[in-house]
Amino acid sequence: MKKDNKEIMCQCGCNHEHTHDHEHDHEYEDFPRIHLILEDDKEVECLVLTTIELRDKEFVALLPVGEERVLLYEFKETEEGINLINIESDEEFELVSKAFLEEFGDE
């Protein structure tokens, strides 16, 4: 799975990270894993925590192995595979974050 722009910084000019600090221990053995290739060709193994459907779009919550921050992306399946897309809108990011926290907030 490749993504051209893996910067998680907000593109709206406010320069905040679109991530969620995740401070709880979990058993992650049952989660599927994927490998992302970043812009600098660094490979990162991530756990796929969940997918979320909102407003006719699909989103994914990824947890890089050994990290505590969850990464949220829009994703689209194509003939070539899965495309991860940065969430550009602060409003959309807040909706996805809220949906993620509703599912994982107490864990």
Domain of 81, in residue numbers = 19-104
CB 45 within 8 A of CB 51: no
Rounded Cα gap, residues 64 and 80, in angstroms: 23
Residue 82 within a domain: yes
Q: What pTM did the predictor assign?
A: 0.68
Is residue 2, in this structure, part of any structural domain at all?
Answer: no
User: 74 lies in a domain?
Assistant: yes
Residue with tokens 């979990």: 26
Number of domains in the chain: 1
Nearest to 64 by CA among 81, 47, 78, 80: 47
In terms of residues, how long is the chain?
107
Distance CA 43, CA 15 (A): 24
Domain presence at residue 69: yes
Tokens read off for 26: 């979990």
How far apart CA 69 and CA 15 sit, in angstroms, is 17
pLDDT digits (tens, 9 = 90+) for 9-63: 333 333 344 444 444 444 556 788 988 887 899 999 999 999 999 989 999 999 9
Write down the pLDDT at residue 53. Answer: 94
Instruction: Say if 89 falls within a structural domain.
Output: yes
Residue 21 structure tokens: 């600090």
61-82 per-position pLDDT tens digit: 999 999 988 999 999 988 988 8
pLDDT score for 31 = 82
Token pair recorded at residue 39: 């812009």
Task: Name which residue leads in pLDDT, 97 or 18.
Answer: 97
